[in-house]
Each structure stands twice: as structure tokens, then as C-alpha cells.
A and B are shown apart, each in its own frame.
Chain A
Amino acid sequence: MGREVAESCIDGVIIEMVSAYSTRFYSSKPDVAARRIEAIGYQVGHQLSERYTMERPRFADHLEAIKFICKDFWTEVFKKQIDNLKTNHRGTFVLQDNHFRWLTRISLDPAVVANTEAASEGESGADSGAQMTSMLLYFPCGIIRGALTNLGIPCAVSADMSNLPACKFPCDTRQLVVLVF
């Protein structure tokens, strides 16, 4: 059962997918591209959670499920655990990965950076890079959301990459919980 794929391949596939969606298919409307990528991630997370929760007792509450995501799920996917999990006890959890694997190989295009610095307006270069990275992050967001939803925790997941390669994933289960009840 233990079929494995070289990590570089995964990275390549993801980067290719992101670039394909964001530059080729929906280059005009990035939000659609983001939604599509997130949807793919959602399905992946949905199915992965289905697989990784085999042979486990059911989760008593949300916190257990989230912990599962942080520990086992994350280990299965990224070979490491989430480094830091925070929650305000009102349904929002923040998963922080100090060394997010899929971002370790991301670096802003030096040419872009250079000429933007030369042009002394660093925003666009930084923006393009940031935008690209955020595009990359929609996929893991989708994965987390899919997994949690499949575990019965509908939530909204965003990503915060203020300081790379550390990455935070705030999962907000609150308003949806309100919707549920």
C-alpha cells in the first residue's frame, strides 16, 4: 500500500498545476483560478483524510480532529508535523508550519526583484512573487479544508505567508458551525 512519489515530482506537479491555472487557463481572472486550485486541493484533502483516518478511533470533538490534521495528516503529507497550533476557543484554529515544504523551493524571481529594485519600485516585483506564492498556497488550503470538512468540520481556511518559508493556516470553523446549528 505504501506507494510513494518523489517529493520533487510532487513539487513539480503542483507548481506546474498552479502556473497552468493561473497563467494559462484563467490568466485573466485570478480569483477563478484560485477557486479551481482550491477545489482540487479540497478533493485531494477529502480523499486523503478518508485514507489516513483508517484504523483510527473516531474523533470525540473538533479539537481531536484538528490535532489529527496537525500530527498524522501533516506527517503523511509533508513528513513533518505542524509546528504550532493556536486557537481562540471560539472555533478558530491557526496551524503554523515554520518550514512549509512546498514553499522552501519558492524564491522570488531574481530578475524581477533586480529590475524592480533598479526601477526602485519594489511593490510590483514583490507583488508578483507574493501573488505567485499565494497561488501556490491555495492548494494546501484546499487540502486542509477538504480534510476537515470530510471529518465533519466545515470551515474556511486561508493562508498567511508573511514570513516565508513559515506559513500559517487559519481555519475558521465558527460561522459555519453557526450555520450548522
Chain B
Amino acid sequence: MIVCVAVVGHQNNPLYLESFTGGDDALKLHHIVHCSLDVIDERVNNPKRSASTLNETFLGLLYPTENYKVYGYLTNTKVKLIMVTTDLDVKDADVRSFFRKFHAAYVDAVSNPFHVPGKKITSNSFSERVGTIVKSFGHSMSL
């Protein structure tokens, strides 16, 4: 299942971070997300990979921690979407589709005229929508 999703602004400031584990491991998740930023920077900055994957928004598996897998997604506007999951075998397609939905949700959230760019996303509808997306992700995995 997905334990955490996060949106990080282009100045690496957290815009939204939601953990879906009941427990209070928020701190750890914060750390994981925070560290994954390093990996994203690294991925983006040194283009050792081929040009095709270089500019793709989906960054794939950022790094596996002992019991998590961290996936990343970098939009054109340098906004990072990060997903932390405990599933060991994740199908790439699933993650991609998840990020696509997540990105759509994010775009709608920031298109809200009352949202201040660069500030935390505090819209309930956004969080609800993300919640449903996350659930659906888990569901599709179980199928």
C-alpha cells in the first residue's frame, strides 16, 4: 500500500505531505521524502541516462529504503510529486497512472484562484481526491 504521498515545490519546500499509515511515523516519512529530493536533484542534474528517459516527468524508483520504495515524478514546473509505498513488486504502469492522476489533482488544486503559488496546499477537496487515488492504487494492485 501507499504509505505517503507528497508534493514538493520548486524550492524544495513541502507543499503537501500526507501519510496513510495510521501510526505516527510522520517524522520518518518526512525524512524519507526530504532525502528523496537529493536523489531527484541528482537524477535531473547529471544526465548519465539516455535522452529519452532524461526528460520524462516520471522518474521511476528513486531509492529503496529498508522497507519502503520511493517513487518520484517531476513536473515541467519543477514541482516534485513523491510517493512512498511498501509494496515490493510494483508495476511501473500502475505507478505511472497513479502519478498521472495525482498530477491532475495537483493541477486542479493550484488552479484554484485562492491558492497562493508556493504556499502549502490546504484544500480539503484536494486531500480527499488524493485519498481516493491512493485507495484506488492499492485496489488496482490487489486485483
Contact = CB atoms under 8 A, between A and B. Distances in A.
- Asked whether the complex places CB atoms of A and B closer than 8 A, the reply is yes
Interface of A: 1, 43, 46-47, 49-51, 53-60, 65, 150-152
Contacts of B121: none
A54 B107 contact: yes
B60 interface: no
Interface residues of B, number: 20
Output the residue of A50, A57, A60, A150 with the most chain B CB within 10 A.
A50
A50 B100 contact: no
B76 A58 contact: yes
12 contacts: A43-B117, A46-B117, A47-B111, A50-B75, A50-B79, A54-B100, A54-B103, A54-B104, A58-B74, A65-B76, A150-B117, A152-B78
B113 interface: yes
Nearest to A51: B107
A58 B113 CA distance: 25
B110 A50 contact: yes
B54 A55 contact: no
Given A49-B77, A58-B56, A60-B54, 17 more contacts: A43-B117, A47-B111, A49-B76, A50-B77, A50-B107, A50-B111, A51-B111, A53-B75, A54-B107, A56-B57, A57-B57, A58-B75, A58-B76, A60-B51, A150-B77, A151-B77, A152-B78
